[in-house]
Amino acid sequence: EVGGGEMACGPDLGRLAAAGRDATVRVCDVGSGKESLTFRGHDDQVVGVAFHPDGKRVGSCSQSLTTPNILVWDAGSGQVSTRLIHPLGQVHSVAFDADGKRLLSVGSDRSVTIWDIITGQPLASYRGHQKQPTKATFTPDGSRVISVAASEILDWYARTGTDLLTLRGPAG
């Protein structure tokens, strides 16, 4: 069942990946609307998806607390190429950097983690939000990360985790 979370359009604009409440990721052809692949490997609701910049891989995250809750899939075969475990809770979203070597995850422990998708190792983790962040993205040059929580936006250096800018809106 599609509709558990996000959707992401492939870089060629011809495919759409959708997170599913049924622990799947479904890839559809935009032109025909037909499902071309279903990725099965999560054990809980999938809430986030992102296409790799080359369009050959898809990242997904689930609300699982017990198994790898971040998976990177081969978009052609549907096979898992990388399994990542966010150790302190559920994952809410994922995003690739522009060169596709790193992946961001936003965890329920208020962390934003940068992963090396080749080694599967965390490169950095940032915990500067006062509230639960929901999304994060790399800047186009990959040097900074912008992360968003309820009423705050943080801009920080990807290499060091040092704050560059914090914007806070009205509470509520």
Q: Does residue 172 have a pLDDT over 60?
A: no
Residue 66 has what pLDDT? 77
Going through 14-162 in order, the beta strands assigned E by DSSP cover 15-20, 24-29, 35-40, 46-51, 57-62, 70-74, 80-84, 91-96, 102-107, 112-116, 122-126, 135-138, 144-149, 152-157
pLDDT band at 129; cut points 50, 70, 90: confident
Residue range 45-89, pLDDT digits in tens: 999 999 999 999 999 999 888 778 999 999 999 999 999 988 777
Among 21-25, 48-52, 96-100, 165-169, the least confident range: 165-169
Residue range 85-110, pLDDT digits in tens: 887 778 999 999 999 999 999 988 88
Q: Which residues of 10-33 are buried (b: 16+ CB within 10 A; e: fewer)?
A: beeeebbbbbbeebbbbbbeeeee
Q: Does residue 3 have a pLDDT over 60?
A: no
User: What does pTM read for this prediction?
Assistant: 0.89
Residue 38 has what pLDDT? 95
Residue 147 has what pLDDT? 92
Q: Does residue 4 have a pLDDT over 70?
A: no
Residue 171 has what pLDDT? 60
Q: Average pLDDT for residues 1-24, to the nearest whole number?
A: 85
pLDDT band at 26; cut points 50, 70, 90: very high
Q: Average pLDDT for residues 105-131, to the nearest whole number?
A: 90
